[in-house]
Chain A
Amino acid sequence: DQQVKQNSPSLSVQEGRISILNCDYTNSMFDYFLWYKKYPAEGPTFLISISSIKDKNEDGRFTVFLNKSAKHLSLHIVPSQPGDSAVYFCAASPYGYDQNFVFGPGTRLSVLP
């Protein structure tokens, strides 16, 4: 039973446009969320995080939105760049950041020049 879902296996976006990656979770105890980016043959790298006390967190071109009532979060990348092409994983943790994280299956983003 997947507790963290990323229902779009892949997404293609034109360079300069907005990329929106979605993530849904089922466990209401999750209250801390992270996004990771993974290039081929490399380990995942941390991108941005959000705790359940916020509904938005922004870092440069990356913004994460959290809708607790819908158990849904999204990652917005504006503007998208070819270097953003990677697999993006959503991860969630219960009881704050100190616990282990449950990862979604990932969404492969392709930014087309």
Chain B
Amino acid sequence: EAEVAQSPRYKITEKSQAVAFWCDPISGHATLYWYRQILGQGPELLVQFQDESVVDDSQLPKDRFSAERLKGVDSTLKIQPAELGDSAMYLCASRAPGANTGELFFGEGSRLTVL
């Protein structure tokens, strides 16, 4: 069964360091999302891509976060410098074109701990 792949699964870093997360969506899924989930809260959208174009990055803290999807396939989310408050699960999701249910397929996530 096709899956959304994310790496690394776990990342521990010190504040002020740079961190990067990678996501490979299900093949053929043009829409890709990065969500952040803080413990005890629901996922919050950071950025949405349609192919290689950013559709919505209004909630992305652009002073330290960046995201790219250069060839419209896999995507990278970067944080530089990391802060203590960035400790969270970073979830990548993709959606099939024209999907009637609007269902998002999520990866297993990348858990970030900033010390």
List residues of chain A with CB within 8 A of the CB of B102.
32, 34, 49, 93, 96-98, 101
Contact A43 to B101, CB < 8 A, known contacts A100-B56, A105-B42: no
CA distance A48 to B45 in the complex (A): 20
Instruction: Give the number of chain A interface residues (Cβ < 8 Å).
Output: 26
List residues of chain A with CB within 8 A of the CB of B4.
43
**Contact yes or no, B43 A46, CB < 8 A:** no
List residues of chain A with CB within 8 A of the CB of B101.
34, 46, 49, 97
CA distance A111 to B108 in the complex (A): 23
**Contact yes or no, A101 B104, CB < 8 A:** yes
- Which residues 63-89 of A sit at the B interface, judged by CB distance below 8 A? 89
**Contact yes or no, A41 B108, CB < 8 A:** yes
Contact A43 to B108, CB < 8 A, known contacts A49-B101, A100-B33: yes
Which residues on B are within 8 Å of A, measured CB to CB? 4, 33, 35, 40-45, 48, 55-56, 91, 93, 99-109
